[in-house]
Amino acid sequence: MPSAVAAPGLGWGLWVTRAHCRAPYWPGAASPASLLGSGLKICGLKTRHLREEKQPRWARLLQPPGEARGGPGASKIDVGEARGAGLLLLPPVRPPQGAGRPGEPSGLPRALPGEGTPGEGSSGDTATPNPARRARVCPCRCQALLYGDAEKPVETGARAAPGAAEPRPVCTCDKKPCGCQKADVNYAFLHSTDLLPACNGEITTMSFLQDVVDILLQYVVKSFDRSTKVIDFHYPNELLQEYNWELADQPQTLEEILLNCRTTLKYAIKTGHPRYFNQLSTGLDMVGLAADWLTSAANTNMFTYEIAPVFVLLEYVTLRKMREMVGWPGGCGDGIFSPGGAISNMYAMLIARFKMFPEVKEKGMAAIPRLVAFTSEHSHFSVKKGAAALGIGTDSVILIRCDERYSAQRDATAGTTVYGAFDPLIAIADICKKYKIWMHVDGAWGGGLLMSRKHKWKLNGVERANSVTWNPHKMMGVPLQCSALLVREEGLMQSCNQMHASYLFQQDKHYDLSYDTGDKALQCGRHVDVFKLWLMWRAKGTTGFEAQIDKCLELAEYLYNKIKNREGYEMVFDGKPQHTNVCFWYIPPSLRSMEDNEERMSRLMKVAPVIKARMMEYGTTMVSYQPLGDKVNFFRMVISNPAATHQDIDFLIDEIERLGQDL
């Protein structure tokens, strides 16, 4: 592993590693000859600086003035010359106690910026260690992280078979987590300009990003700890006064940037917490999280194959699989991942309008008759938003009354937002076919049930739809955002939206232009949303998603059975929920004997908001509430978090009663 060559008077040292970091070695006299003779290599920035030449430039730099080559000791080093020779200058290091013999196991050294390195090969000068926080970089990763495959040092001996994985240097300790001491980097005097692509910025960048990952991992672990709060709630004015969130002209140090990261997560909602039930999108999947990190690192755009080759292909195969699950033969059709279900629904309205009146693309709404959209009275508000944005107008959205189970009789929503109701898709499809109406199914919330053999019957008839919205970031637990629009007719989306931008979609490219998907989207820049879903699907398989979804529906039924006849609870509608939405009122003891009149409704309306506020202030759990129509505020419990258990449902019931018994 590492050794040290001191640079007296400069307060810096050179980090030296044995090839592949097999074993620690601390030579007593670290001359260039002894370093080379012991099989050690200076960890420079490029391969050429690691080759054991007869007299490499870095060896000349280490040679003491007036001393024969290979003599003992170490010399002063000119920092500029050293960097020019490709040497990686790190803070000085000192060997751990007891180290000294080749092959003898020992811990790794801890380097203190500004501190001298006493001992052989050093002047013995010391300085007071800087008290600022220091990051840690495991030096045994140097070769693996500093060099790409094409730049790795050449190893002697047998070569691996073509296609075989390159051997990666690893820590030799067997402790989990790794207990090795680390080299320190002082962030108090570093800025973003010291990170890559800055010259010699590799180690600082690795250190900084590893510290960010440490912060994230601590947050992730705490998110699943039931003893931690779901939220550390503060009022807006408190957070604004407690921290300085303003943007300044001068840069902050990396130390302050890391503090910003910690502060942000400290007050963030732990949406992966097993007792977070507030939204349709809950939970935190580890594979999905890893995929999101990878997507951000790739940092590319989805408009052409040439800049996102793998991601474009993954979108193609994933959308085809989703269309197969809808029931379209062979997964035929088209589709796209969009920024959420609201945009997917608007896409569907846009394409439906173009299908009926293609001239609207050039001539506008004035050239076509008035259009009307029929939708459930409990459909998502995005239907009206889409109508407003497309010039159809909200007055042209006709709301269809629902039956006693809150499903529409002429429109198509698969899993309404509040009640979780599924509209009768087959009957609606018959009407649409008879009158030649475009049928769109908003399955943003309920589409995930297509993964379940036990529950997919609730979407019978979806295969007859012209388009379907499906949000994997809801019931399937894919990290936000991940929403797909699926269209049965292939090529229609392209014809509707394409504008032939020649600087992106050249027609004489050397590959199949059908994989340049950007011209069928409204956006130009489009985020890579598919990789999270694809990687999770690979990790879980369809059966894994099925088990996850079945569990959530079973928990919803468990909650319903526990409270339907429990004192102090009233259900908003009769019958077992169709989805994981469980809607109920909690009736405090003071209201249970009151007659059902206006005064009781007025007092009951205040119960859910107060309990919710107390939940947030205590930080114990979160569940949504709302009024709807003539119904006063009620709790809308939704379960999509794979981490939730029966014990968490029991806790929620007990907590509602604890927080609301005095109301």
Phi–psi pair at 508, nearest 5 degrees: -115, 30
pLDDT averaged over the chain?
Answer: 79
State pLDDT tens for residues 118-172.
333 333 333 333 434 444 444 444 443 333 344 334 444 444 443 443 433 334 4
Higher confidence at residue 153 or residue 484? Answer: 484
pTM equals 0.74
Q: Answer yes or no: are the C-beta atoms of 556 and 643 closer than 8 Å.
A: no
Sign of the C-alpha dihedral computed for residues 48, 51, 52 and 58 taken in this order:
positive
Question: In this predicted structure, what is the pLDDT of residue 133?
Answer: 43
**Which candidate, 393, 399, 395, 403, places its Cα nearest to that of 411?**
399
Q: Stretch 55-63: mean pLDDT, rounded?
A: 44
Question: In this predicted structure, what is the pLDDT of residue 629?
Answer: 87
* Residue 2, helix vs strand vs coil: strand
DSSP 8-state class, residue 524: S
Q: Stretch 14-30: mean pLDDT, rounded?
A: 35
State pLDDT tens for residues 312-342.
999 999 999 999 999 999 999 999 999 999 9
Q: How far is Cα of residue 428 from the mean position of the Cα atoms in its chain?
A: 37
- Tell me the C-alpha distance between 524 and 522, whole Å: 7
The answer, yes or no, to whether residue 77 has pLDDT greater than 50, is no
The answer, yes or no, to whether residue 286 has pLDDT greater than 90, is yes
Q: Answer yes or no: are the C-beta atoms of 405 and 573 closer than 8 Å.
A: yes
Provide, rounded to the nearest whole percent, the portion of the chain with pLDDT above 90: 64
Task: Name residue, tokens 């049928």.
Answer: 439
